[in-house]
Amino acid sequence: MASNIQIVGMSGNSVDPIPNSKLYRYSFRLSEMPEYDWKLLYEQTVKNESRESLRRRSTIVDDTIIVEMSADDDKQQQLDLQKELVAEINRKYDAAQEKIAVELAARAQEKRDFENEIARLREEAKELKF
């Protein structure tokens, strides 16, 4: 099943000041609570971004993306960048899930083949003459 997580709006207290800074936390609500692995992929992608990225620092808490922005930041641009990031994570997550499914199917086939070989060898052993 394809991931279709999207940013759907602002959360309750959507703009909160960050103490001792000139930054604010903007809270964007997601369409659903992401799986743990989806969140992990999001966090790794954000962490590994180049410093030249225009996207502001962000994290996920429950079903909310929290983005740190200054009063001067282009809010629409930051929201659009977050939407692009969520779509990218959906694609990466789906690709990883597909790879896992293929790997599990291959392992299951190997196990069946092994069990069939054992059964064949046991039948063959019954034919031994003592």
Q: What is the pLDDT of residues 48-84, one digit of tens each?
A: 875 556 778 899 999 999 999 999 999 999 999 999 9
For residue 15, the surrounding DSSP H or E stretch is strand 7-17
Tokens at 43, concatenated: 């966090």
* Cα 114 to the center of its chain, rounded Å: 34
Identify the pLDDT of residue 95. 92
Alpha helices (H) along the chain? 36-47, 75-126
User: Is residue 56 left, alpha or beta, with left meaning phi > 0 and alpha meaning psi from -120 to 50?
Assistant: beta
Q: First and final CA of the chain: distance in angstroms?
A: 57
Tokens at 9, concatenated: 């709006």
Q: Read off the pLDDT band of 98 (50, 70, 90).
A: confident
Range with the lowest mean pLDDT among 11-20, 27-36, 77-86, 109-118?
11-20
Q: Read off the pLDDT band of 25 (50, 70, 90).
A: very high
| Fold entry, domain 7-93 | Gyrase A; domain 2 (3.30.1360)
Mean pLDDT of 79-102: 91
Which residue is it, tokens 């000041």? 17
Identify the pLDDT of residue 115. 92
For residue 22, pLDDT over 60 is answered with yes
Tokens at 68, concatenated: 């740190």
Higher pLDDT, 51 or 33: 33
Where do the structural domains in the chain lie, given as residue ranges? 7-93
CB 56 within 8 A of CB 68: yes
